[in-house]
Structure 1
Amino acid sequence: MANTPQSKKRARQNLRRADVNKARRSRIRTYLRKVEEAIASGDQAAAAAALRAAQPELMRGVTKGILHKNTASRKMSRLSSRVKALSN
């Protein structure tokens, strides 16, 4: 348990940050799920629109420290290639 005033404050801050980060992570996953559902339905227009909406959310996750830059890039690359494959 935290003993010093500084460590008590850090513990409080960590709890608040964890809640914020959890909300951001959930928001990113929601956008990714919408892209997955659009891909599963086979509608390329809807999938492309969902991907365009998800892209800024992923990048925001990178700037906020939720995701690593390469992880977000890999997810975008794989999703965009799957959306592109729907047109064939």
Structure 2
Amino acid sequence: MSNNNSAKKRERQNITRRMRNRAVKSEVRTAIKNFDKCVLAGDKAAAEVAMKESFKLLDSATSKGILHRNTSSRKKSRIYAALAKLN
């Protein structure tokens, strides 16, 4: 347990930020899962829409510093590859 006020405030801020970051990461994972479902179903049009949504969320998380840019790039690359196989 922290003793001084600044450390207590940092703990409160860390909890708030952790919850916010977890929510953003969850949205990203959900979008990628939706894309994977579209690919498994073989629905190219829906997969392209899901891809755009996934990319938007990945870029947003990267710009906020929640995901590393290499992580985002790797996930995008795998999404592109899965969509290319669908053709």
> Normalised by the shorter chain, which TM-score bucket?
over 0.9
Give the TM-score, by structure 2 length.
0.95
* Cα deviation, residue 84, structure 1: 1.4
Q: Does 1:33 align with 2:28?
A: no
Runs of 4+ off more than 4 Å: none
* Cα deviation, residue 34, structure 1: 0.6
Q: How does 1:8-47 map to 2 (within 5 A)?
A: 8-47=8-47
CA distance in 2, matches of 1:52, 1:24: 16
Unaligned runs of 5+ in 2: none
Q: Does 1:57 align with 2:57?
A: yes
Aligned length: 87
Deviations 1:10-39 (A, max 9, x none): 001111111111111111111111111111
SS in structure 1 of the partner of residue 6 of structure 2: helix
Give the TM-score, by structure 1 length.
0.94
Unaligned runs of 5+ in 1: none
> Aligned-residue CA RMSD in angstroms?
0.8
